[in-house]
Amino acid sequence: MQVLITGSAGFIGSHIAEELLRRGHDVRGLDLTDGGADGNGGDVRDAATVARHLAGVDVVCHQAAMVGLGVDIMDLPGYVSTNDLGTAVLLAEMARARVTGLVLASSMVVYGEGAYECAEHGPARPLPRTAEALDAGRFEPLCTACGQPLAPGTVTESAALDPRNVYADTKVAQEHLTASWARTTGGRAIALRYHNVYGPRMPRDTPYAGVAAIFRSHLANGRAPQVFEDGAQRRDFVHVRDVAVANALAVEAVAERPAGGLRPYNVASGHPHTVGEMAHALARACGGPEPVVTGAHRLGDVRHIVASPGRAAAELGFRAQIAFEDGMAEFAAESELVS
């Protein structure tokens, strides 16, 4: 197949390109930062550029995005422009070119907090955590009925979407725009809701970088990782090469999806760890200083988000292969971090 990857020079996009090429597909890239002579440079928000790259394409793998939790509300226009306007332009040009297959890079952030259970009241959906509670060190979400801490569980793709920061808002909007495109055009779409992706080529030295990259940069400079809250917040860390395989499987499967619909899948390892555990694993692998738990926090962060990868296993044949310990050891040792 001829596959267009937006964001093809980025952290995840570059790994997807390699995996698709390994499987024998033809790959075309479109990336804002790619100024090479191969014609891959360009902005997904520019309709003429997108139209030129779509010629002859069978499936689009849409990775281009502004990622991470924003520094402040002044980031809002950048997120909306890159993520939502960019997606809208891409979808409009796909409709014009009659390209009917799309794999969308979505995110776990669309869920907000994960699944929770109250011992007295059963399944619960907590309110966003307040600055007052976080300042006081009360990190666990509470039951809205009785005020007691909730027990975290596992979220599935059927969970209600509940974005809790600007980045999450734009990822939900991307899914909704894609669903509207599919219904209107008879297109076929898969949304891959990535969990905490890490691995080679991960961006560094930016306030928008993922927590693994931030810890890795601290350790590379001989500094202890600074762990927010109490370090007990749970995440699913999934290696970027596993994410690339998930995308390749989705690209190969999307043509078989029912026309006019979008199907979401969690892309996760299925083996959650706390942020504190991840920091300690990196510190051990780097031979660096032990992490420091600071109690600091960011408004808009969620406490626990762990998902079931069962649907992706059953329908796409995706199962993460890279174990947490092995992946973190490789990440600690590699020097191919992108500035």
Q: Write down the pLDDT at residue 339.
A: 35
Beta bridge partners of 102: 60, 189
Answer whether 330's CB lies under 8 Å from 197's CB.
no
Q: How many CA atoms lie within 13 A of 322 on its CB side?
A: 21
Cα–Cα dist 107/112, whole Å: 10
Q: Write down the pLDDT at residue 184.
A: 98
Q: How many other β-carbons are positioned within 10 Å of the β-carbon of residue 308?
A: 18
- Buried b / exposed e across 152-175, counting CB within 10 Å, b at 16+? bebbebebeebbbbbbbbbbbbbb
Q: How many other β-carbons are positioned within 10 Å of the β-carbon of residue 137?
A: 10
Candidates 219, 242, 210, 261; CA nearest to 313 is 242
Cα–Cα dist 256/103, whole Å: 13
Here the tokens at position 176 are 């909704």
Amino acid at 145: A
pTM as predicted: 0.93
Low-confidence ranges of the chain (pLDDT < 50): 36-37, 336-339
Candidates 268, 259, 263; CA nearest to 250 is 263
Amino acid at 124: A
Q: Write down the pLDDT at residue 303.
A: 95
Q: Write down the pLDDT at residue 333.
A: 87
Answer whether 63's CB lies under 8 Å from 6's CB.
yes
Cα–Cα dist 211/296, whole Å: 14
Answer whether 214's CB lies under 8 Å from 221's CB.
no
Count of helix runs (H) and strand runs (E) in the chain: 11, 15
For residue 150, give the DSSP letter: P
Q: Give the residue carrying structure tokens 């076929």.
A: 188
